[in-house]
Amino acid sequence: MDFVAYYQNLIKIQQKDIRYWWIWVAFVLIGGAVIVISGARFASQADAVKLLGGTFIATCSLVPYRWIGPKRERIVTLSQLKTYFETADISEEEKRALFLELTKKTFEEAIRRG
């Protein structure tokens, strides 16, 4: 098994998740700007603007920033593991045993965190 490619793929997945989060933030900010501009232009329809503002605030609460920090940490960890597997002077069997041990610890930590 090519462990370097495996870790590179995991890194790409984490980076893609972070990139999609930034796209989501951009859409939410654009939506907020539209609400502010429409609120200034259509002050006579205050109830509709309040409804849109409430919807915007509810949408902001859906932005899952709490997952971005751990994803960045995972990228660093996975990069270090990838580098280790690229440069390590160990046999395939030792690599496989280390990979299985790391995978087991990763799943135990994921289960512990919930």
Total domains in the fold of the chain: 1
Tokens 């930590």 belong to 109
CA distance linking residue 86 with residue 60, whole number of Å = 41
- pLDDT average per 10 residues of sequence, the chain (114 residues): 82 91 85 75 70 76 77 86 82 84 79 70
Q: Which two tokens stand for residue 112?
A: 């512990």
Range of the domain at 8: 3-113
Q: What's the whole-model pTM score? A: 0.66
- Predicted confidence at residue 15, as pLDDT, reads 93
Separation CA 105–CA 114 (nearest Å) = 14
